[in-house]
A = this chain, B = another copy of it.
Amino acid sequence: MEYRLSDRIKDLKGNAIREIFKLLQQPDFISFAGGFPTKELLPTEIVKEITTDIMNGKEAADVLQYGGTEGYMPFRKTACDYVKRYGIDGIDIDNVLIVSGGQQTIDLMCKAFVNKGDTVLVEDPTYLASLHILKTYEANAVGVKSGEDGLDLTDLEEKIKKYAPKMLYVVPTFSNPTGRTYSVEKRKAIAEITYKYNVMVLEDDPYSELRFEGERVPSLKSFEVGDNVVYSTSFSKTVAPGLRTGIAVGPKEVIRKLTIGKQAVDVHTSSLSQAILNEYIKRGYVDERLKVMIPVYREKKNAMIEAIKKYMPKEFKYTDPQGGLFIFGEFDKSLGIDCETLFPEICKYKVAYVSGVSFYADGSGRNTIRLNYSNATLEQIDDGIKRMGEFFKDIINNNK
């Protein structure tokens, strides 16, 4: 049968990471692709304890019943307090929407704001799923130049003037894929420029708790000058991605529109997941567990940096993040290394990166790769980067 598919989906390929996910099920494959938290750190005992308590408690049946689209009421209240740690204050439950993972906020923001053909600005490079989502809305994704401390403000303003974008999507803290963090000055300036031109900002912040060096930076939303920033965080990196739960905070009028969109998409987020996370926060497990997690992430990041220095060709330049899950690296373009076409080749060595091309709105970045350090053991990090180093050194030598 010849299916009459929609324009948005008919030629759309799967999200690169999600496709690699299947490949990585192979045993003895070392993956620096995905953005998986360290498996051994996942709180199985706590989830058991909390679920038992919930199911013994008087809210048990409420947690299994239909709930409000806005979220499980006790969790929405907890969320209002929780986001104070990101410098977000003075909100109430009508500023909060519980989402099925942080990524859902991107989808709902597009649903609420983006018509076919509308421009959305993203960082160059940006989270690949945001580009995938924008394709499902037939949006025009345009990259904004970026450096060590965040977006290039001149380029941002020029592109706002040129495209009149509906939205700017950013990951200001431990960016995916670069691991970089925007300075306070850049956050303030972005808040001002976007408000001036009536551009919504979606601040995606799944990683900021995973800081193993340096000082915390308040959220971009905490510097907003008008009502144009939606802040989104997730428990996928701090607690457990399998629970698929996050928090969106924004202006009430916008949250209301996101809620109407979410009514259509999945009615509401799993109430069991919400109730578990509500208790997880209230019992103080977030900070207790982060104290255990952060040294592990620091050690893994350091191990990967060491391995890169030891094994990767000297022509490989890379970021050295203070937190998050990713190192981003590039080969000088003059070397002619195309990490996208080389991907199937390196998989033969049973090691994987994500080709950087997936993170660029314009499909550039073929000389770049993203490496994740949280999902591999220290031994795998050494072994995998060694295999990768040998592979790229051979390529460079052969190209000479």
Using a CB–CB distance below 8 Å, which chain A residues touch chain B? 1-9, 12-15, 18, 21-22, 34, 36-37, 39-40, 42-45, 47-48, 51-52, 55-56, 60-69, 100-101, 103-104, 107, 110-116, 118, 129, 132-133, 135-136, 166, 195, 198, 200, 226-228, 236, 240-245, 251, 253-254, 257, 259-261, 263-273, 276
Contacts and interface: CB of A to CB of B under 8 A. Distances in A.
A65 B42 contact: yes
B257 A112 contact: no
> Copy number of this protein in the oligomer?
2
Contacts of A48: 51-52, 55-56
Contact of A66 (B21, B40, B52, B265): B21
State the majority secondary structure of interface residues on A.
helix
A34 to B, nearest CB: 7
Contacts of A42: 60-61, 64-65
A43 to B, nearest CB: 7
A66 B24 CA distance: 12
A44 B60 CA distance: 6
A261 B111 contact: no
Contacts of A257: 3, 5, 9
**5 tightest CB-CB pairs across the interface, nearest first?**
A48-B55, A242-B271, A64-B240, A44-B60, A42-B64
Nearest to A53: B48
Contacts of A22: 68
A64 B43 contact: yes
20 contacts: A1-B226, A4-B198, A6-B115, A6-B118, A6-B166, A9-B261, A12-B260, A13-B260, A36-B66, A44-B55, A44-B61, A48-B56, A51-B51, A52-B52, A65-B240, A66-B241, A66-B242, A129-B263, A265-B265, A270-B270
